[in-house]
Amino acid sequence: MDLLKKNYDKLILLALVLAFVCSMIYVLDIIRKTREVTDRDLQIPTREPNYVEHKADESDFVKDKLFQLTAENWTPAASRGKVSDSDYSDLVAVFKIARCPHCERLIPLSYFNNRKCPFCPDKAELPPPPERKMRKITADDSDGDGISNVDEQKYGFDAKNADDAMWDFDKDGFSNVYEIFQGTHPKIAVDHPPFWHRLYLKTIATVPLPLRFMAVNDVTKSKDPQKCDFQVNHYNRRTRRWTTRYYAFGEDIDIDGRKYKIAKVDLIQKEVAATAPDGQPTVKDDSVIYLDEVGGTDKLVMKVGEVVNSSDRKAVFIDTGLSGEYAEIIGGLGSVFIMRGNKGEKKDRVRYRVKEIDLEHKTVLLENVLSSSRAGVDLSLDPKGEKMLVTTDGKIPADMRRVDEPPEAAAAAGEGAAAPEESASGRGAAGRDK
Q: What is the pLDDT of residues 376-419, one digit of tens each?
A: 788 899 888 899 999 998 999 888 888 877 765 655 554 433 33
User: DSSP alpha helices (H): ranges in 140-288?
Assistant: 149-154, 176-182
Do the Cβ atoms of 114 and 127 come closer than 8 Å?
no
Q: What is the pLDDT of residues 209-222, one digit of tens each?
A: 889 999 998 888 88
Averaged pLDDT, 125-144: 68
> Mean pLDDT score of the chain, rounded to an integer?
79
Do the Cβ atoms of 292 and 265 come closer than 8 Å?
no
DSSP 165: G
Q: With a threshold of 0.75, does the pTM exceed it?
A: no
- How many degrees, rounded to 5, is the angle at CA 376 between CA 370 and CA 382? 50
pLDDT at 69 over 80: no
**CB contact set of 28 (below 8 Å; sequence gap of 6+):** none
Averaged pLDDT, 98-105: 77
Can you say whether residue 69 is alpha, beta or left, with left for phi > 0 and alpha for psi between -120 and 50 degrees? alpha
**Least-confidence region, from 2-16, 144-158, 409-423:** 409-423
